[in-house]
Structure 1
Amino acid sequence: MTPADLSLTVLRAVRRAVDDGALRVDVPPGVKVERARPGGSGEYASNIALTLARPAGRTALDVAGILRDRLRDAPGVRTVEITGPGFLNFSLRADAAGDLVRAVRAAGAEYGHGAALAGTAVRFAEPTEPRAALVTGTVVRLLRAQGADAGSGGTERIHVVPGAYDPDTLGTDAARWALLRAAPHDRPLDGPPLLVQHERNGLFRVRYAYSRARRLLVNGAQLGVLPSHDSHDSYDSHDSHDDVAPVEASALLDGLGDHPVVLLAAARHRAPDRVARHLEGIADALLAFQHTVLPLGDEKPSAAHRSRLALAEAAGTVLAGGLSVLGISAPDRI
């Protein structure tokens, strides 16, 4: 992880804190990260908490604590410490990408589920309008995935622009995507375009990207390349197309790293559309990355290919898990 990568990671943590309502500030355009000074701890440090303290109406130590909680599990970050009046100090992991891929592979489709909302009880009123019923049921699933005790029998309501649920015409998957992809306060998507296999169709892109991940595993096995991300593996090697692989892998790693936070924010804000949009971003990154995964021409399989295949496999796992939370299937072939 470079200082620029770390700066973006801290900036994403600020955005998450703002999205979660933990901080009420304007997200800055950037975050300054520099080498830790003598007497500090870790390798890098940032004064972002001191910068945000006054506009947030909080102490710098409070802000630093809020950001530290959102940086503990960030890819590439080994430890986060608070020093002095509120400086954030970072120690970095040697194999951040590998840690993330292994975490996804270990958790499977439940990657991003957690206990952040454990002890929270949420009871929704029984909705009668079709879209409200679908959104509410999906939010219940999201809340439970974060440890909340969620169900019916209460008074909370999710207000939506009404929309018809039409699985007989569209099929279950397209009918659900049409109502869940748009924010609850926006009109549902038109159903018929979701049946067209075209890049403008977000549902198609997500499901196609998942199917490509599955096909890469099959093709890799035929070439003798199996997914693996050992500590010595890298996305870089001396193969002919490696100059593009690290850049495209970075966008995909960012998407996978953000997935747990997106699921939590979607649950807290009662917004399944956040998950759908996030899956589209992961799908786009995977489709751009797929061409760098396996050996081309007379290339010999290498550790980099095994690592890239493991990343593609992890991306497919996240896509399938995200679709499952939305109640949508992930076919191996399209």
Structure 2
Amino acid sequence: MTPAQLADLIRTVLLDAVASGDVALAPDDVPEPRVERPRQREHGDWATNVAMQLAKKAGTNPRALAELLAARLSDADGVAAAEVAGPGFLNIRLEAGAAGELARTVVEAGAGYGRNDALAGHRINMEFVSANPTGPLHIGHTRWAALGDALVRLLRASGAEVVPEYYINDAGSQMDKFGASILARATGGEIPEGGYQGEYVTELARKVLDERPDLPELPHDEAVAVARELGYRLQMAEIEQTLADFNVHFDVWFSERELHDGGAVEGAVDRLRTQGHVYDDGGAVWLRTTDFSDDKDRVLVRADGSPTYFAADAAYYLSKKDRGFGEKIYLLGADHHGYVNRLKAIASCAGDDPESNIEILIGQLVSVAGARMSKRAGNIIELRDLIEWIGTDPVRYTLARFPADSPLALDGEKLREKNLDNPVYYVQYAYARTRNASRNAEEHGVPRDGFDPAALDHPADAELLGALGQFPETVAHAARLREPHRVARYLEQVAAAYHQWYGQTRISPRGEDPVDAGHTARLWLNDATSQVLTNGLDLLGVSAPERM
């Protein structure tokens, strides 16, 4: 019996009590009860506070309602006991056979176990990373690369339709400086003021010259344009490859330049003007964002007629709206707090509800102890250097196991350690141990046929089953709260329960002992644990190694 099935059973019992007149509620007043593990395991397998929730509306006291429900639940199939505690908590103990059925449920569901419909019907555009294409990805982009991709996976697992999107800032003066910097390196000239330094610019210049050996002979403006376009293409290819190596994938790569070239920026100003929030002052065009809690109005078009970055932000938001995304999530770095109110103001000025149509998540800074600055990029730590030094799995898992709004310092050498003090190794080792146990069981002739869930009668069986049963709700809760760290911490709890269970029970017989129903049942429970661990690691974009 899964927690969801137990919740349905409690609701059915409540509805029957309403129908018989024993509980003075309307059927519509009966919610889906929430069940959770008691803090003290001796209190039972699961607990619910539904009697405390409904007693006042039912015109009775919580304990009396809980006792009525306990009497009815005790007679239900699969329930060994239902007892009242404190002011009206219901503690429920399942029969071993009912509890053990969860192992079958998990194994048969396979990769689908944990998937739920908590966010079904939501269509979400999620933008993250969006680094300028003028240099390599670095430590400043790493946190949102890991968390953003994990959040996409969580939202999809909870029924949402999600499109991850990378906004390419390929318009504006920085791109001209990028081209001029590459040209300078290609021709031995001086890097322009405010240009780009680092060995990677020299590398790009070398590749650009390979494609266009005539670059030094071109007129200066044409040469800058050629260097800019070729350098841009090469740099974006590297960014895409680095993200792929980090197990991060985008469905859409959206060009800012296309907004300008296609007239979307000018169109956005006109559309916002029809909403009544655009005005002209001092030769410039302004958006009255102070109507929506911004600290000052924002310029859309300067007095010289050139659009601002803010105008492109407005056009980009309208593009997402026009593409049918009712919800737009922006994942921004710690230095972007000032963007929160202005982006919400854009949503309001566009006729959207800033409380439901746009969500802005801010990630705090990450530092890495012991890391050397990139020789290639200058004074930054490149993401690809972290991948080569520490590895994708340790970096992704560690970033995922902490809330995004907390500053984080990583110890690179500790993350490389292969011991049980390293959380990612601890979880991956638990998975590898399940696979090794499964192989050993097969070698000892333990069959999978004839699974008897009632044979899972050891207290450690119940403990592990209870942990596995919480996975779907953990996934749904993490998706609703946008907090992938809840999955990482949950996996560590499952790994701990598995290691304890492994030491207290037997999957394979000892020596010449015969194979019995308990061995088969525990092979199923072992494989169920394996499935939960690999499903959870996949949500975090972390691999599940078969051997370690």
Length-normalised TM-score, structure 2: 0.44
Counterpart contact for 2:452–2:521, Cα < 8 Å: no
Match of 1:255 in 2: 467
1:47-86 mapped onto 2 (5 Å cutoff): 48-53=49-54, 59=57
Q: Which runs of 5+ in 1 are unaligned?
A: 11-21, 35-45, 69-75, 79-85, 237-245
Q: Which has the larger radius of gyration?
A: 2
What does residue 434 of structure 2 align with?
Answer: 213
Alignment partner of 1:148 is 2:160: yes
Same amino acid, percent of matched pairs: 35
Are positions 1:201 and 2:422 aligned together?
A: yes
Q: Match for 2:514 among 280, 300, 304?
A: 300
Q: Which residue of 1 aligns with 2:542?
A: 328
Kept in 2: contact 1:167–1:174 (CA 8 A): no
Do the aligned partners of residues 283 and 227 (structure 1) sit closer, same or farther apart at CA in structure 2, a change above 3 Å counting? farther
Post-superposition CA distance 1:256-315 (Å, at most 9, x none): 000101011111111111101111111111111123222223422110011111101110
Correspondence 1:177 to 2:406:
no
Structure 1 CA distance for aligned equivalents of residues 107 and 118 of structure 2:
21
Deviation at 1:181, TM superposition (A): 1.2
Over 3 Å counting, the alpha-carbon distance change for 1:162 and 1:77 in structure 2 is: farther
1:158 aligned counterpart, secondary structure: strand
Deviation readout 1:65-121 (Å, 9 max, x if unpaired): xxx9xxxxxxx669xxxxxxx998989677223321111111112211022211122
1:130/1:162 contact within 8 Å kept: no
Conserved in 1, the CA contact under 8 Å of 2:452 and 2:517? Answer: no
SS in 1 for 2:125: strand
- Contact in 2 for aligned 1:210/1:316 (Cα 8 Å): yes
Distance, in Å, in 2 between the alignment partners of 1:222 and 1:97 is 28
Closer/same/farther in 2, CA of residues 276 and 264 from structure 1, 3 Å limit: same
CA contact (8 A) 2:101 2:453 kept: no
**Unmatched 5+ stretches in structure 2:** 11-31, 70-77, 81-87, 131-140, 166-319, 321-327, 329-357, 368-382
> Quick one: which of 468, 482, 487 aligns to 1:270?
482
Structure-2 residue corresponding to 1:137: 149
Q: Is the 8 A contact 1:52 1:60 kept in 2?
A: no
Give the Cα–Cα distance (whole angstroms) in 2 for the partners of residues 28 and 302 of structure 1: 32
Distance 2:467 2:39 in 1: 20
2:18 maps to which residue? Answer: none
> Does the CA contact (< 8 Å) of 1:174 and 1:191 recur in 2?
no
Shift of 1:232: 6.4
CA-CA distance at 1:28 after TM superposition: 9.8
The structure-2 alpha-carbon separation of the partners of 1:227 and 1:208, relative to structure 1 and needing over 3 Å to count, comes to farther
What one-letter code is carried by the residue in structure 2 that aligns with 1:180? Answer: A
Cα shift readout 1:190-216 (whole Å, capped 9, x = no counterpart): 332122122211111111111111111
Once the two structures are TM-superposed, the CA of residue 325 in structure 1 deviates from its matched residue by 0.9
1:174 and 1:221 mapped to 2: Cα distance? 31
What residue number does 2:406 align with? 186
Q: Which residue of 2 aligns with 1:318?
A: 532
Aligned length: 273
Larger proportion of strand: 2
* Conservation of the 8 A alpha-carbon contact between 1:294 and 1:305: yes
> Which residue of the partner structure matches residue 42 of structure 1?
none
- Distance in 1 of aligned mates of 2:453 and 2:129: 53
Alignment partner of 1:115: what SS?
coil
SS at match of 2:522: helix
- C-alpha distance in 1, partners of 2:446/2:127? 52
Aligned residue identity for 1:296: R
- For 1:281, the equivalent position in structure 2 comes to 493
CA distance in 2, matches of 1:216, 1:29: 30
CA offset digits 1:218-245 (Å, max 9, x no partner) = 1111111133563465024xxxxxxxxx
Residue 52 of structure 2 aligns with an amino acid whose one-letter code is T
